[in-house]
């Protein structure tokens, strides 16, 4: 075994509750060779930040000037030698300069089977309401690369679940979250193991 294999480093971008972020942090807590040195958060009051503090991970509170009109975030990510950027419920658009600086190194999770039920304004409960309204027989979650269009990058992984007559937006949200928790960390791990 090559003992000089470089540690893989993840940065997570988050906006709200951060339950996926916490699940990812816990998954990698005991794994050697993979670390999470940095979380970017678009909301100074986000619940996610409580978890970040608990795990002693550096938190960077984003502002739009830094993200959209400077290279500060790119520099921060490069200084910390980040290999993979994980969006986990991040609600701001990612600027082109960041996508260009990290080609095929930024992924997102979406609570539906893209390309359906994605795009601007499609998040949280709205997605599940639309799925029920359209009498879909199944829904699920999608993990995909991030490109310059909302929810349109190349799909990496999807998991499905059937919609029952008894389902509500809330029950679907809970089941989709379970799928997200089960699969997002594993997909991240696979991608990291395949990076040079
Ligand atoms: C997740 O369900 C994720 O799929 C969704 O936001 C939620 C974040 O929850 N993302 C999107 O809708 C992206 N378009 P969390 O903050 O508890 O992880």
Pocket test for ligand 1, best of 124, 161, 173, 175 (most atoms within 8 A of CB): 124
CA angle 59, 157, 163 (to 5 degrees): 100
Let me know if residue 3 belongs to a domain: no
Q: What is the pLDDT of residue 95?
A: 96
CA separation for the pair 37, 73 (Å, rounded): 14
In a domain, 2, yes or no: no
Tokens 């969006």, residue?
A: 87
- What proportion of the chain, given as a percentage, has pLDDT over 70? 97
Q: Is residue 82 part of a domain?
A: yes
Average pLDDT over residues 66-76: 97
Residue 168 included in any domain: yes
What pTM value is reported for the model? 0.95
C-alpha torsion angle, residues 110, 173, 13, 29 (rounded to 10): -110
Q: Domains in the chain: how many in total? A: 1
Asked if the structure places residue 119 within a domain, the reply is: yes
Average pLDDT of the residues of the chain: 94
Residue 124 Cα to ligand 1 middle (Å): 7
Q: Give domain status of residue 1, yes or no.
A: no
Per the structure, the complete domain to which residue 118 belongs is given by 8-193
| Mean pLDDT value of segment 60-66 | 97
Tell me 1's DSSP state: -
76-109 tens-digit pLDDT:
999 999 999 999 999 999 999 999 999 899 999 9
Percent of the chain with pLDDT over 90: 87
- Whole-number Å distance, alpha carbon 31 to ligand 1 midpoint, is 24
Q: Could you give the C-alpha distances from 95 to 125, 148, 184, in angstroms and in order?
A: 25, 7, 23
Tens digit of pLDDT for each residue in 119-138?
888 988 999 999 999 999 99
Name the strands in the sheet holding 84-87, side by side, starting at the edge strand that comes first in the sequence. 58-61, 34-41, 8-14, 84-87, 106-110, 138-145, 155-162
CATH code assigned at 24: 3.40.50.170
Question: Is 183 part of the annotated catalytic residue set?
Answer: no
Q: Which atom of ligand 1 is nearest to the CA of 15?
A: 16
Contacts 24+ apart (CB under 8 A), 97-101: 97/71, 98/67, 98/73, 98/74, 99/146, 99/147, 99/148, 101/74, 101/77
Q: Which helix (H) or strand (E) holds 158?
A: strand 155-162
């Amino acid at each position: 075994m090559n003992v000089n294999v470089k540690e893989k480093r993840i940065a997570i971008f988050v906006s709200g509750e951060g339950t996926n972020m916490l699940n990812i942090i816990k998954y990698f807590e005991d794994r050697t060779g993979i670390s999470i040195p940095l979380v970017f958060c678009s909301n100074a009051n986000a619940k996610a930040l409580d978890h970040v503090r608990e795990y002693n991970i550096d938190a960077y509170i984003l502002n739009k000037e830094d993200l959209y009109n400077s290279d500060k975030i790119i520099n921060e990510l490069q200084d910390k030698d980040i290999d993979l950027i994980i969006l986990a419920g991040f609600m701001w658009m990612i600027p082109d300069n960041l996508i260009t600086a990290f080609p095929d190194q930024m992924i997102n999770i979406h609570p539906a089977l893209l390309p359906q039920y994605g795009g601007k304004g499609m998040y949280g409960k709205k997605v599940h309401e639309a799925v029920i309204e359209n009498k879909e027989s199944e829904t699920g979650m999608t993990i995909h690369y991030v490109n310059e269009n909302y929810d349109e990058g190349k799909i990496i992984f999807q998991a499905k679940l059937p919609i029952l007559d008894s389902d509500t937006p809330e029950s679907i949200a809970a089941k989709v979250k379970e799928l997200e928790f089960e699969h997002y960390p594993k997909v991240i791990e696979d991608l990291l193991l395949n990076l040079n």
